[in-house]
Amino acid sequence: VVIYATSNGHTERIVRAVEPVLVRAGHQVAMHRVDALPSGFTLEGFDHALLAAPIYYGKYPKPFTGYVGRVAAELSAMPSTFISVCGSAGADASAKALKGARDYVDKFLAASGWRPRAAEIVAGEIAFTRYGIVTKFVLRMINLAAGRSTDTSRDWVYADWDALARFAERLAASRP
């Protein structure tokens, strides 16, 4: 099962890129947005759970953290994997930014009690065209400090799709 949170659609594009790799490897995949889980949904019957969420301003979306908090013991008792989507984690990211991205994951997992088999950090996007003026300004300043483009007339995708495909292949080859 793949359960994900998405704010601007980038995390959904990431899990949708992983899905066909899993299917080609013979896995049956059920995909669910965490804020639209079917009534009575349980993890029972699934042999692996892949959860994915974006990090914004140091926090994962509340529906995601709430769900993980409720099912952390179940997730920890089964094979599970976490994808953290972080805009500051691209190939051009500094060591400090990458450490920050890892720290977000570590803090979240410690607070939730979830112990996944693996936690993968995937670079996010800066969707300037979809942000309000305050978020756009803050992210423009972050990009300026990081040496990235401050052109707010377009969106900037930092995901390494080839690295994501390699991750998906490793995940597809793993067995519970």
| Cα 90 from Cα 45, distance rounded (Å) | 35
pLDDT > 70 fraction of the chain, expressed in percent and rounded: 97
Per-residue confidence band for 176, with pLDDT thresholds at 50, 70 and 90: low
> What are 7-30's pLDDT values in tens digits?
888 999 999 999 999 999 999 999
For residue 110, name the pLDDT band (cuts at 50, 70, 90).
very high
List the beta strands (DSSP E) in 22-158. Answer: 31-33, 49-54, 80-86, 118-123, 125-126, 156-157
Contact indicator for 121, 84 with CB cutoff of 8 Å: yes
The alpha carbons of the chain give a radius of gyration, in whole angstroms, of 16
Both tokens assigned to 107: 């803090």
User: Tell me: the pLDDT tens digits for 128-154?
Assistant: 898 899 989 988 888 787 777 889 998
**CA atoms of 68 and 32, how far apart (whole Å):** 14
Task: Check whether 45 has a pLDDT greater than 90.
Answer: yes
pTM of the shown model: 0.89
Q: Which residues of 12-39 are buried (b: 16+ CB within 10 A; e: fewer)?
A: bbbbebbbebbeeeeeebeeebbeeeee
